[in-house]
């Protein structure tokens, strides 16, 4: 497959099947690769050029919470299907089998009075069917209106597929409500599966409201907050006020760089999911550990969670305090950032993030790694922006965007992060699109120990190739 010029350049539309991402990436990559060899090569590059002794943030929160939320180095593996996955997936698979064995009572939502006509409020029927958990709730074809669903531990919510089974917000649901969430943010939940559904946040119910979100981690299609062992498979999130999918802690914390937030989610796998029309990000993580996102697709946000023209709406965002996150064979289009790894100035940066395969088409900044407020001048050095490994990245035709009007396009930006390995980036520009003298790649703002290998840039009109070569190691 070729990314051609002008209007014939590659496009991804709403019908794109995310499970084809891996095949597209192999076709578009300018360098053949063998996954296990690539994984080993990345490890060697990190050991050769990066500083493994990056100081660990010191804070009372770390002293108090490190024992409760331990993390440690994890190996990366690949299977014959092309899935690159973390070592801890083995544990997650065992817990998945435990969930299926424990939630062995199967009920159909229709037996509790639900009506999938897109008109009837079925909230009570869902509440009765879900009960206190240990149940597999089957939702047949149809559109079911609810005012929000809360899932207890040991619960499976299973539909008949995207576009076949739809759970949609009732017109009377408040803006702050989450469409589907776990039941107990304070004490946490475990072992929850959501599969085979379209989740429609029904943003139209808000009319012409200027902003579609109500603050913190509210207003999303699906939120896991303080969940251990969770799975979301083949689910579509439509027109979320804030996020399509949010893997989060009890609440978003902004208590400073180095702070380790409590109430973390851990061991979560999002696979085959799709998000569109989201007010902020399609898929996001906050203050959580051991997250795996694969074979997913996020496209065309509304940006309406932000002031118009200042919408930092990313396809996939690995945000404040997230640790040990793996991404494999995902795709984005029409977003501010394809993949953004970051933190706000008053939060710890996401760290230990691994990307193996991502296709970004016509995003503003395909891959954007930064710790806001720790970049230059009198800014404090980041205590936490550390450790990113990314391979087999494809950036096609990054563009200017109305989402964030003052943002110039890039294929890759690294700011403030240390110890970063990028091994395999294919950046293909549109020869008919004026890049206005901007760099395709920028390594900047206190970035350090950044390794670039197998970088292929072509097709850009009026563009610089790499800004900040003095801040990185270019390996042939």
pTM higher than the cut 0.75 = yes
Give the model's pLDDT for residue 1. Answer: 41
pLDDT-derived band at 232 (thresholds 50, 70, 90) equals very high
End-to-end CA distance of the chain: 25
In the predicted model, is pLDDT for residue 349 greater than 80?
yes
In the predicted model, is pLDDT for residue 292 greater than 70?
yes
What is the mean predicted confidence (pLDDT) over 252-277? Answer: 95
Reported as half-sphere exposure (CB side, CA atoms, 13 A), residue 345 has a value of 8
What is the mean predicted confidence (pLDDT) over 153-165? Answer: 99
In the predicted model, is pLDDT for residue 445 greater than 60?
yes
From CA 383, how far away is CA 58, in angstroms rounded? 9
Over residues 380-418, the pLDDT tens digits come to 999 999 999 999 999 999 999 999 999 999 999 999 999
Share of the chain above pLDDT 70, in %: 96
Give the model's pLDDT for residue 258. Answer: 87
CATH code 3.40.30.10 for 8-98+204-475:
no
pLDDT-derived band at 209 (thresholds 50, 70, 90) equals confident
pLDDT-derived band at 84 (thresholds 50, 70, 90) equals very high
Over residues 1-21, the pLDDT tens digits come to 445 555 567 999 999 999 999
Give the model's pLDDT for residue 23. Answer: 95
What is the mean predicted confidence (pLDDT) over 49-72? Answer: 74
What is the mean predicted confidence (pLDDT) over 292-309? Answer: 97
Residue-averaged pLDDT of the chain? 95
Structure tokens at 291: 């997250």
Between 64-68, 120-124, 146-150, 151-155, the lowest mean confidence (pLDDT) is in: 64-68
Q: Counting Cβ atoms within 10 Å, is residue 451 exposed (0-12), middle (13-18) or buried (19+)?
A: buried
CB 370 within 8 A of CB 345: no
Give the model's pLDDT for residue 160. Answer: 99
Structure tokens at 173: 């649901």
In the predicted model, is pLDDT for residue 243 greater than 50?
yes
Give the model's pLDDT for residue 184. Answer: 98
What is the mean predicted confidence (pLDDT) over 37-62? Answer: 83
pLDDT-derived band at 57 (thresholds 50, 70, 90) equals low
Give the model's pLDDT for residue 72. Answer: 86
Q: How far is CA 192 from CA 95, 138, 203, 223, 365, in A?
A: 10, 14, 26, 12, 34
Between 187-196, 251-260, 300-309, the lowest mean confidence (pLDDT) is in: 251-260
In the predicted model, is pLDDT for residue 70 greater than 90?
no
Alpha helices of 82-149 — where are they, by DSSP H? 89-102, 123-130
Give the model's pLDDT for residue 2. Answer: 46
Give the model's pLDDT for residue 210. Answer: 81
Reported as half-sphere exposure (CB side, CA atoms, 13 A), residue 387 has a value of 24
CB 145 within 8 A of CB 121: yes
Give the model's pLDDT for residue 69. Answer: 87
Give the model's pLDDT for residue 73. Answer: 86
From CA 326, how far away is CA 356, in angstroms rounded? 8
More confident residue, 5 or 260: 260
pLDDT-derived band at 109 (thresholds 50, 70, 90) equals very high
From CA 175, how far away is CA 398, in angstroms rounded? 33
From CA 161, how far away is CA 197, in angstroms rounded? 5
In the predicted model, is pLDDT for residue 438 greater than 70?
yes
Exposed e or buried b for every residue in 363-396, given b needs 16+ CB within 10 A? bbbbbbbbbbbbbeeeeeebbbbbbbbbbbbbbb
């Amino acid at each position: 497959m070729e990314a051609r010029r002008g209007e014939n350049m590659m496009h991804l539309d709403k019908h794109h099947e995310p499970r084809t991402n891996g095949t597209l990436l192999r076709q578009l990559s300018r360098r053949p690769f063998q996954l296990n060899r690539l994984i080993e090569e990345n490890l060697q590059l990190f050991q050769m050029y990066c500083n493994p002794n990056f100081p660990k943030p010191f804070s009372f929160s770390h002293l108090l919470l490190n024992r409760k939320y331990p993390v440690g180095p994890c190996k990366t593996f690949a299977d014959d299907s092309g899935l690159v996955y973390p070592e801890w997936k083995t544990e997650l698979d065992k817990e998945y089998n435990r969930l299926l064995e424990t939630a062995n009572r199967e009920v159909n939502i229709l037996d509790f009075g639900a009506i999938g006509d897109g008109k009837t409020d079925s909230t009570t029927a869902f509440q009765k069917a879900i009960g206190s958990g240990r149940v597999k709730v089957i939702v047949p074809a149809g559109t079911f209106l609810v005012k929000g669903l809360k899932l207890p531990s040991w619960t499976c919510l299973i539909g008949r597929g995207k576009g076949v089974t739809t759970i949609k917000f009732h017109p009377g649901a408040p803006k702050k409500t989450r469409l589907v969430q776990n039941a107990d943010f304070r004490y946490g939940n475990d072992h929850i599966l959501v599969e085979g559904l379209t989740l429609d946040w029904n943003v139209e119910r808000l009319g012409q409201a200027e902003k579609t979100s109500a603050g913190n981690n509210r207003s999303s299609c699906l939120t896991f907050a303080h969940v251990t062992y969770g799975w979301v498979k083949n689910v579509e999130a439509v027109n979320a006020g804030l996020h399509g999918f949010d893997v989060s802690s009890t609440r978003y914390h902004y208590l400073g760089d180095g702070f380790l937030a409590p109430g973390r989610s851990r061991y979560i796998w999002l696979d085959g999911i799709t998000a569109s029309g989201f007010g902020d990000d399609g898929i996001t993580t906050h203050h959580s550990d051991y997250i795996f996102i694969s074979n997913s697709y996020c496209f065309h946000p509304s940006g309406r969670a932000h002031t118009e023209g200042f919408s930092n709406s990313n396809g996939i965002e690995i945000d404040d305090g997230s640790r040990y996150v793996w991404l494999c064979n995902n795709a984005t289009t029409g977003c501010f950032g394809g993949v953004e790894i970051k933190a706000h100035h008053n939060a710890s940066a996401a760290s230990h993030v691994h990307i193996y395969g991502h296709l970004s088409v016509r995003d503003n900044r395909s891959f954007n790694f930064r710790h806001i407020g720790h970049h230059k001048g009198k800014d404090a050095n980041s205590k936490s922006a550390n450790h990113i490994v990314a391979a087999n990245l494809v950036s096609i035709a990054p563009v200017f965007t109305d989402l964030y009007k003052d943002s110039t396009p890039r294929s890759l930006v690294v700011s403030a992060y240390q110890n970063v390995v990028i091994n395999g980036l294919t950046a293909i520009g549109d020869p008919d699109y004026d890049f206005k003298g901007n760099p395709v790649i920028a390594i900047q703002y206190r970035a350090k120990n950044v390794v670039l290998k197998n970088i292929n840039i072509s097709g850009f009109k009026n563009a610089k190739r790499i800004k900040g070569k003095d801040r990185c190691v270019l390996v042939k």
